[in-house]
Structure formats: C-alpha cells, structure tokens
Amino acid sequence: MTPDEVKALLLAHLQDCEIEVEGQGNHFQVCAVGDVFEGLNPVKRQQMIYAALNEKIADQTIHAVTIKTYTSAESAAR
C-alpha cells in the first residue's frame, strides 16, 4: 500500500481535514489537521483515524500507524 492510498482512505472518512501520510510497505505516519478534532481527547482522535483504516489493519495490509492529530488552531500554534 502506498502513502497516497492511505491518504485516500483517510480523506474518504475525514473530508474536512488536511492529511499527510509518509511511510512504505505496511508502516505509515499520519498527520491530520482539522476542526473535526476540536474538543476530542487524543484517544478519540486516534479512534477516528483507526476507523478509516480498520479494514486494512485487520487484513494486515497496514501493520503499524503513527498518528498525530491537530485542530486548525493547534496546527497554527506549532
């Protein structure tokens, strides 16, 4: 699976987010920025990412995902 394919899966579930994906093989790093994360704790944010990738994780197409999520304000402040 390519980073672009992972990004497409994420964008299908999180349309209002900016998504960056790096990695190769079955290990990926995801950075997602969007106001959809406003008011959510880190676990809930990660659950949103995993929900989009769950099928590929279950069939082992994706083995490992490192996730960073930010609201627009958090992203601008960093």
Domains of the chain: 3-77 (3.30.300.90)
> What mean pLDDT is predicted for residues 31-39?
97
> What mean pLDDT is predicted for residues 19-29?
97
DSSP state of 66: E
SS3 readout for 3-55: HHHHHHHHHHHCCCCEEEEEEECCEEEEEEECHHHCCCCHHHHHHHHHHHHHH
* Exposed / middle / buried, residue 75 (Cβ in 10 Å: 0-12, 13-18, 19+): middle
Q: Which amino acid is at 47?
A: Q
- pLDDT tens-digit profile of 37-65? 999 999 999 999 999 999 999 999 999 99
Rounded to whole angstroms, the Cα distance separating 53 from 59 reads 10
Whether pTM exceeds 0.85 = yes
